[in-house]
Amino acid sequence: MNVIPVKTGIQKLAPWTPVFTGVTANHFTSESAMLITIDDVLTPAELSTAKSLLARSSWSSGQQTAGPQAAQAKNNEQLAESAEHLPALRRLVLTALNRNALFFTAALPLKILPPFFNRYAGDSNYYGFHTDNAMRQMPDGSAYVRADVSATLFFSDPDEYEGGVLTIEDTFGKHGVKLKAGSMVVYPSTSIHEVAPVTSGERVACFMFMQSMVRDPGQRRMLFDMDMALLQLRETQGDSDPVVRLTGCYHNLLRRWADA
Residue 62 has pLDDT above 80, yes or no: yes
User: Cα-Cα-Cα-Cα dihedral of 62, 151, 31, 2, to 10°?
Assistant: -80
Q: Global pTM?
A: 0.86
- Report the pLDDT averaged over residues 205-219: 97
Q: What is the pLDDT of residues 3-35, one digit of tens each?
A: 443 333 444 443 333 333 233 356 555 444 689
The pLDDT score that the predictor gives to residue 34 is: 86
Q: What's the pLDDT score for residue 188?
A: 95
DSSP character string of 103-158: HHHHH-EEEEPPPEEEEEBTTB-EEEEE---SEEE-TTSS-EEE--EEEEEE-S-G
CA distance 188 to 186: 7
- The amino acid at 124: S
Give residue limits of the domains in the chain: 2-9+28-212, 218-257
Backbone CA torsion sign across 244, 28, 72, 77: negative
**φ, ψ dihedrals at 104, nearest 5°:** -65, -45
Does the domain at residues 218-257 carry the CATH identifier 4.10.860? Answer: yes
pLDDT tens-digit readout, 117-170: 999 999 999 999 999 999 999 998 999 999 999 999 999 999 999 999 999 998
Q: Identify residue 57 by its one-letter amino acid code.
A: S
pLDDT score, position 91: 98
pLDDT (tens digit per residue) in 166-206: 999 988 889 999 999 999 999 999 999 999 999 999 999 99
- Reported as type and span, the H/E element at residue 174 is strand 173-177
Q: According to the model, what pLDDT value does residue 25 have? A: 52
Running DSSP on this structure, what letter comes out for residue 13? P
Over residues 97-120, the pLDDT tens digits come to 999 999 999 999 999 999 999 999
CATH homologous superfamily, domain 2-9+28-212 = q2cbj1_9rhob like domain (2.60.120.620)
